[in-house]
Amino acid sequence: MITIMLNTRPQTTAGYDAFWQFASKRQEIYFHKLSGTLEDNPSEDPILAVNRFTNAYRASDRVSQYLISCIQYNQEWSWIDTFVRTLVFKIFNRIDTWNYLLASIGEPDTNALFDRTIDHALEVLAERQPIYSAAYIMPPPRSASGPKYSRHLDLLRRMIIEEAHVEIQDCENMEQAFGILRRYESVGDFLAYQFITDLNYSSYLDFSEQEFVVPGPGAIRGIKKCFHGTNDLSYEEIIRWTLDQQHDEFKTRELLWRGLWGRDLQLIDIQNLFCEVDKYTRVAMPELSEFASGTRIKQRYRPDPSPMTAWFPPKWGINENIMLAHKYGDIGTQESLFSDLGFIEEGQLTLA
């Protein structure tokens, strides 16, 4: 991991203080939701209570949890099928779209991609409801024709034909793998970074999440609200500098911080937190809007009654810590959903 060494600390604003406060409060909400005690311990922050925010750790969000548990590790897939399944899911980024595919065609895989079974199923669904998430928008390739979803799937078919998945597995680091995705039409910097992060959750890649980051537009707005000046550091370097401060900042501010069962915040998490703090400060600190536009939070919080899960890529080595927490009664109930798979020893935490 590269540490940013500075002679002087970047000049911060009140937004930087809000960054750490937000991270602490949002992580505590996560633990209360996971243990089923949120109603008994509602957030005292009215902004957090009524608006929708992602978790402090990207991998703990429902969509990432679904990807890890139900798409990548629900059975032992080959790398090519893992690649296809991950990107089919992430192109649309909607759990209900994937569940529809499961119900209509079975488990999507490379064969279903190339015989256009997936295309035909989505053609039916698209007539009834949205099939894409609004979380981020992926423009379809302009060089192709046909429905948006088919153009996206054509792009994925092209990746497989050109063996992008093979090249990615041969890469030495995340930045090289990012570059392979980035060369494809309509896959910009931010989307390529999101995609390689998702693929990296699988058992076939093992890039460090501490080596490479790409700030999105929301993160850049958040950074502008948190710093008066950056000492000529790039946005990427500011994210890395902030990452390096995490232990000191929580301790100095005497903020409750339990992390993720022994896993520190990673670059992707800091990037996401800057984006969420941009949204949070639109209401909490409207005076910071002079540094980045935006005056309201678009999405309201709506409780999701479906069970939450807390199970992470086994290579991270934290699932056994979740089981230990359960053993001592700290959190939830444990179910061994994947014990029959030889390469997975830990259970999956699910909470109704």
Per-domain boundaries in the chain? 74-200
What are the DSSP E strand ranges found in the chain? 308-310, 333-335, 348-351
Strands 308-310 and 333-335: unpaired
Given a cut of 80, is residue 242 above it in pLDDT?
yes
Average pLDDT over residues 128-139: 82
Residue 10: CB partners within 8 Å, gap ≥ 6? 227, 228, 229, 230, 231, 233, 238, 241
Average pLDDT over residues 252-271: 97
pLDDT band, residue 44 (cuts 50/70/90): confident
Q: What percent of the chain has pLDDT over 90?
A: 71
Measured distance CA(7)–CA(14) in Å, rounded? 22
- pTM, rounded to two decimals: 0.88
How confident is the model at residue 123, as a pLDDT? 96
- pLDDT, tens digit, 9 for 90 and up, residues 211-226: 999 999 999 999 999 9
How confident is the model at residue 115, as a pLDDT? 97
pLDDT band, residue 336 (cuts 50/70/90): very low
How confident is the model at residue 341, as a pLDDT? 36
Given a cut of 50, is residue 173 above it in pLDDT?
yes
Given a cut of 80, is residue 21 above it in pLDDT?
yes
Average pLDDT over residues 332-349: 36
Angle, nearest 10°, between helix axes 79-92 and 95-105?
130
Look at 163 and 350; give whichever has higher pLDDT: 163
- pLDDT, tens digit, 9 for 90 and up, residues 287-329: 998 777 766 777 666 767 777 889 999 999 999 999 766 555 4
Q: Which is nearest to 275 in space by CA: 333, 335, 349, 218?
A: 218
Q: How high is the mean pLDDT of the chain?
A: 87
Given a cut of 50, is residue 76 above it in pLDDT?
yes
Average pLDDT over residues 56-70: 97
Q: Which is nearest to 175 in space by CA: 220, 209, 215, 136?
A: 209
Q: Which is nearest to 3 in space by CA: 258, 247, 330, 306?
A: 247
